[in-house]
Structure 1
C-alpha cells in the first residue's frame, strides 16, 4: 500500500508538526506501508498552466506523479483567511479531474478558529469529491490551543490522528479488495 502524506502549505509549522506525528503513527501501525511525506514547503512547485501532469518535470513532476501513484493520501492543511492555501489548491489544479479515483483521501486540519471547520465542509470535501476521491468522512481538526512550542499538547489530538490513520488504512484495504473482486469477474 502506497500512502502519501501531503503537508499542503509552504509556510508555518503546525501542519508539519501534525503530519510528522501522522507519519510516526503510520509507521507504527503499518510498518509494511510505503509512505512518502510531501511537504510543499520543501518543493518548488510550478503554478498549473493546464498541461498534463506528466509534462511537468522537476519538483512539480515528482509531486504530481507521487500523488498519482498513491493508494491513499492524507492531506494536512492549515486554514488561511477562511480558505485552503493556494499551494494546496495548485496541487489539485495540476492533477487531472479523475486523479483521485480509487484513492482513499483523509484530512487533517490546523486552524486558528473553531469556525474554520466550515472550510473543510464547503471547500475541501467538494474538491475531493469532484476529483472522485473516496473520502474518509471524519477528519482531524486541530486548533491553535493544542500546540505549544511546535509540539502537540493534547492527548485527544494524538488519539484522533491514530484513528484517522487506522480508518485510512482500513478503507484503502477494503476498497482494494472490492476493486480486485470486481476485476476478477471479467474473463480477460
Structure 2
C-alpha cells in the first residue's frame, strides 16, 4: 500500500507568508510568557513550601503543566517553515498542549480541595493559602489559553486559513 512518497507519515499544507509569521510569532510569544510565568510561580511556591506542603505539591504540578504546555507552544514554531506547516508535528504540539492543560486543571482542582481542607481543618495562614490559590488559578487559566492557541494554530484551523486565502489541502514535503 503506497501512501504517497518516501515519508508517508509526514503531511504538509501550504500557508502564505503572513499566516506563517502569525503562527510563528503568536506561538513563540504566548509560549515564552507561559514559561516565564511558570518559573515565577515556582519561585512563589518555593517561598510557601515551609507552611503548605500538600497545596505546594499540587500547585507545583499545576505549574509544571503550564511550563510544559508553554514549552510546546514556544517550540511549535519549528513545525512551520518555508511556507509549509508540518501536520504531523503540528498535531503533536496540539495534543501536548491539550493533554497538559487537562493535567493542569486536574491539579488545580486538587489544589482547591487542599486549600478548602486547610482553611476548615487547620490553622494554616489564610494569606498564604490565598496566594497559593491565586497562583494555581492563574496557571490553570494560562494553560487553558495555551490549549486554545494550540487548537487554533496547530494545525491552522479553517478560519485563519480562510483569512489568508489558503486552501489547507495536504501537499508533499517542501522542495518537491
TM-score, structure 1 as length reference: 0.31
Higher helix proportion (structure 1 or 2) = 2
Higher strand proportion (structure 1 or 2) = 1
TM-score, structure 2 as length reference: 0.33
| Larger RCO, structure (CA 8 Å, separation 6 or more) | 2
